[in-house]
């Protein structure tokens, strides 16, 4: 019977083409939007993790409470010992120190007079240790617009836009004015050896990146760091593991009397990332549900039209002794077959376009000039194994639901009218 | 009557609701049909021919009285049981053939057997036999759109006969055919009636059909006004 139904579907284009087209479009959109959203959220989460949050972050309790102000006077001290403890407790993690600081960049002319000045957002990362992964983690090589990555103390990178704004050229000296950990004035000269564009408006607006040791020296933060970031070995965020880790760490180090006691936060707890990750996780199920609903309504109507066109066929089948229940069942089988065919077509199209967007992306930089969130400017999709099956859920389910609704009419058919109905 | 009875209708009445009242389509019908009969229900439109065929074919039920087909009381059958009765024992031929347009002649005939869950080899043999009865072996891969009216009706006969039903009900089978094709399909049906001992019951007002019938039952306003066997009619 299945092969008989399949022949009917393949030969009767009006029975199959419209539903297959509707399903293919719906599945195509589901796959494409799903992979694209996953790509956007993953990029945004990765960018945040790599630049600011880590997969977990250790700060003092006081710093954590005022994290938005970057209060280096509340930074962690005795960081080397803390990192040794963390490495012993969590050997699969990588731990790095970071210092974020604000300041003023002064650009002198040939006579040492101020040529230009601008407020800067500084980030100190480990650039010079032999095995440091920080330049790679922050994608510096690819983000370089001019020059090179610092390889000696006293060297710095500026964001490309910032350098242009201040008319800074490669190998120019700039002076950083800031405040030390104790609240004193801090001054340090840096040689600009490269410019960067990270593709994030927040980072590219006025960034200076220096080596951690230089910042510790300039800001009077020997053996201190604002934050210690932890990254999982596979560089993928695992919320469950992070939750267990933070719970264990905070239980071990909790001290209500000590506001400088270290506290650990997972990526999800920081900034807007909780809602972003939750949205990322929920978006696909919302998307699938919306497409199921929309396509079911369309396919319900398609099924009603198809049912009208096949009125004589169903009447004949009833007359030949087929039960209404069996006819209804065969309609559902047909719907499953059509749903699978449409889903295969839609998935193939969706994956093809998703692969293209994974490689090329779409540049939204012009729309994000004033964005205050750390978001990538080029939005890419990401094709994961589940993208190959996610479209089948709305594809098959909507076709079956649409057919199930429209097929109910079979049960209202009066066999006593069959001779009259089949006369025409 | 020389035939063993396979259809027995006793004091059967069929009424339909019309507005607040009722319309009596069949009124106190008493009929017996035996195995291998070649009978026809004749009469003007509205006389109750199709209603009677509906009840014999277990597509409808009587309002009063009994209709027993193949030993089963139509009034008491469930939907499932009446579908099974049609599936196993009753074939239908319609005025407009009602072939499934996307399937070949072979597949149209095979469909009736698919509903009986017969094996592929059984189906193939039975379909080839049926197509041979109606002389359409050479058209088995054709689609219905490629057939003439007469050929289409012969496929419908093959489809109705392929499961070798005990009873075949035909509603105005020659209405859409010219005289030559009408005679051809009636000869085919007559031959099958003799060979397979299938009981044929026609609903018709076509003179061409009537001349082939062995028994003519005339209906008027839902009542049997005459029931004449051909041999008697000839007298």
Domain with residue B182: its CATH number is 3.40.50.300
Give per-residue pLDDT as tens, A16-55: 888 889 889 988 988 998 888 888 888 878 888 888 889 9
Q: Which DSSP state fits B48? A: S
User: A110: burial class by Cβ within 10 Å (0-12, 13-18, 19+)?
Assistant: exposed
Please give the pLDDT value at position B79. Answer: 87
Structure tokens at B171: 């509603």
Q: What is the mean pLDDT of residues A407-411?
A: 80
Residue B97's domain spans which residues?
5-234
Answer yes or no: is pLDDT of A372 > 70: no
B48 φ, ψ (degrees, to nearest 5): 110, 10
Answer yes or no: is pLDDT of A95 > 90: yes
Q: What is the mean pLDDT of residues A200-219?
A: 87
User: A91: burial class by Cβ within 10 Å (0-12, 13-18, 19+)?
Assistant: exposed
Residues from B in contact with A at Cβ < 8 Å: 50, 53-54, 57, 59-60, 79-80, 82-88, 90, 92, 94-96, 98, 100-103, 107, 110-112, 114-115, 171-172
- Among residues B22, B18, B92, B21, the alpha carbon closest in space to that of B56 is found at B92
Task: Identify any residues that bridge with A120 across adjacent strands, giving them in sequence order.
Answer: A103
Answer yes or no: is pLDDT of A422 > 70: no
Answer yes or no: is pLDDT of A64 > 70: yes
User: B96: burial class by Cβ within 10 Å (0-12, 13-18, 19+)?
Assistant: middle
Q: What is the mean pLDDT of residues A196-203?
A: 76
Q: What is the mean pLDDT of residues B156-174?
A: 89
Q: How many residues does chain B have?
A: 235
Answer yes or no: is pLDDT of B88 > 70: yes
* B204 vs A contacts (CB less than 8 Å): none
Annotated domain spans of chain A: 2-47+275-421, 56-236
Task: State the CB neighbour count (10 A cutoff) for residue A348.
Answer: 15
* A423 vs B contacts (CB less than 8 Å): 94-96, 171-172
Q: What is the mean pLDDT of residues B29-57?
A: 91
Contact assignment for B96 to A422 by CB distance below 8 Å: yes
Measured distance between the N- and C-terminal CA atoms of chain B, rounded to whole angstroms: 17
B109 → chain A, closest CA residue = A320
Answer yes or no: is pLDDT of A229 > 90: yes
Distance (Å, whole) CA B216 – CA B231: 11
Give per-residue pLDDT as tens, A314-356: 888 888 888 888 888 988 888 888 889 999 999 999 999 999 9
Confidence of residue A367 (pLDDT cuts 50, 70, 90): low
A14 shares contact with chain B (CB less than 8 Å) = no
User: A92: burial class by Cβ within 10 Å (0-12, 13-18, 19+)?
Assistant: exposed
Please give the pLDDT value at position A250. Answer: 92
B106 → chain A, closest CA residue = A4
- Give the rounded percent of residues in chain A with a pLDDT score beyond 70: 92
Please give the pLDDT value at position B232. Answer: 43
Answer yes or no: is pLDDT of B233 > 50: no
Of A320, A326, A419, the CB nearest to B171: A419
CA separation (Å) from A162 to A100, A173, A178, A372, B98? 17, 14, 17, 16, 80
Q: What is the mean pLDDT of residues B122-147?
A: 92
Answer yes or no: is pLDDT of A151 > 90: yes
Helix (H), strand (E) at residue A258: none
Of B50, B83, B103, the CB nearest to A321: B83
Q: What is the mean pLDDT of residues B211-226?
A: 93
Task: Identify any residues that bridge with A97 across adjacent strands, giving them in sequence order.
Answer: A228
Task: Give the total number of structural domains in chain B.
Answer: 1
Taking each helix axis from N to C terminus, what angle separates B149-161 and B105-114, rounded to the nearest 10 degrees? 20
- Among residues A295, A292, A309, A293, the alpha carbon closest in space to that of A19 is found at A295
Please give the pLDDT value at position A294. Answer: 82
Confidence of residue A297 (pLDDT cuts 50, 70, 90): confident
Confidence of residue A123 (pLDDT cuts 50, 70, 90): very high
Distance (Å, whole) CA A49 – CA A65: 19
Answer yes or no: is pLDDT of B93 > 60: yes
């Amino acid at each position: 019977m299945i092969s008989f139904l399949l022949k009917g579907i393949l030969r009767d284009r009006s029975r199959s083409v419209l539903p297959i087209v509707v399903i293919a479009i719906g599945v195509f959109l589901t796959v494409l939007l799903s992979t694209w959203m996953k790509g956007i959220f993953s990029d945004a989460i990765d960018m945040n993790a790599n630049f600011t949050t880590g997969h977990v972050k250790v700060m003092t309790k006081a710093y954590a409470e005022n994290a938005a102000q970057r209060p280096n006077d509340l930074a962690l001290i005795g960081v080397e010992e803390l990192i040794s403890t963390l490495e012993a407790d969590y050997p699969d993690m990588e731990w790095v120190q970071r210092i974020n600081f604000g300041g003023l960049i002064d650009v002198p002319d040939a006579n040492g007079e101020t040529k230009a000045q601008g407020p800067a957002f500084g980030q100190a990362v480990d650039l010079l240790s032999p095995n440091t992964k920080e330049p790679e983690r922050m994608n510096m090589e690819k983000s370089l617009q001019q020059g090179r990555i610092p390889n000696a103390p006293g060297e710095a990178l500026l964001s490309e836009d910032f350098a242009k704004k201040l008319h800074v050229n490669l190998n120019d000296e700039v002076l950083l004015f800031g405040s030390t950990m104790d609240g004193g004035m801090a001054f340090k000269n840096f040689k600009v050896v490269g410019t960067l564009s990270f593709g994030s408006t927040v980072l590219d607006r006025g960034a200076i990146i220096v080596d951690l040791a230089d910042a510790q020296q300039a800001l009077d933060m020997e053996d201190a760091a604002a934050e210690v970031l932890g990254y999982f070995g596979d560089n993928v965020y695992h919320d469950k593991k992070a939750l267990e880790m933070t719970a264990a760490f905070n239980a071990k180090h909790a001290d209500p009397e000590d506001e400088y006691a270290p506290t650990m936060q997972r990526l999800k707890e920081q900034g807007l990332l909780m809602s972003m990750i939750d949205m990322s996780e929920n978006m696909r199920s919302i998307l699938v549900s919306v497409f199921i609903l929309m396509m079911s309504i369309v396919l319900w109507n398609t099924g009603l039209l198809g049912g009208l066109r096949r009125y004589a066929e169903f009447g004949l089948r009833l007359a030949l002794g087929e039960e209404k229940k069996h006819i209804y069942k065969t309609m559902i089988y047909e719907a499953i077959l059509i749903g699978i065919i449409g889903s295969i077509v839609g998935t193939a199209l969706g994956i093809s376009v998703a692969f293209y967007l994974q490689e090329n992306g779409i540049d939204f930089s012009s729309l994000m000039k004033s964005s205050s969130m750390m978001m990538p400017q080029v939005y890419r999709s990401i094709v994961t194994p589940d993208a190959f099956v996610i479209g089948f859920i709305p594809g098959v389910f909507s076709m079956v639901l649409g057919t199930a609704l429209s097929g109910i009419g079979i049960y209202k058919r009066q066999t006593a009218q069959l001779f009259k109905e089949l006369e025409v | 009557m020389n035939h063993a009875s396979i259809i027995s209708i006793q004091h059967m009445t069929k009424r339909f609701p019309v507005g607040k009242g009722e319309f009596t389509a069949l009124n106190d019908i008493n009929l017996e049909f035996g195995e291998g009969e070649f009978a026809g229900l004749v009469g003007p439109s509205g006389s109750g021919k199709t209603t009677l065929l509906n009840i014999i074919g277990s597509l409808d039920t009587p309002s009063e009285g009994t209709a027993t087909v193949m030993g089963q009381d139509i009034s008491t059958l469930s939907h499932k049981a009446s579908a099974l009765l049609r599936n196993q024992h009753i074939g239908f031929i319609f005025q407009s053939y009602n072939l499934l347009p996307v399937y070949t002649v072979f597949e149209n005939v095979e469909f009736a057997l698919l509903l009986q869950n017969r094996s592929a080899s059984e189906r193939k043999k039975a379909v080839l036999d049926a197509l041979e009865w109606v002389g359409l072996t050479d058209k088995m891969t054709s689609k219905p759109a490629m057939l003439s009216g007469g050929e289409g009706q012969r496929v419908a006969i093959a489809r109705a006969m392929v499961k070798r039903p005990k009873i075949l009900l035909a509603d105005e089978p020659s209405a859409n055919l010219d005289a030559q094709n009408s005679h051809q399909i009636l000869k085919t049906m007559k031959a099958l009636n003799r060979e397979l001992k299938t009981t044929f019951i026609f609903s018709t007002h076509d003179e061409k059909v009537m001349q082939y019938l062995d028994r003519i039952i005339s209906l008027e306003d839902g009542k049997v006004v005459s029931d004449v066997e051909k041999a008697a009619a000839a007298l």
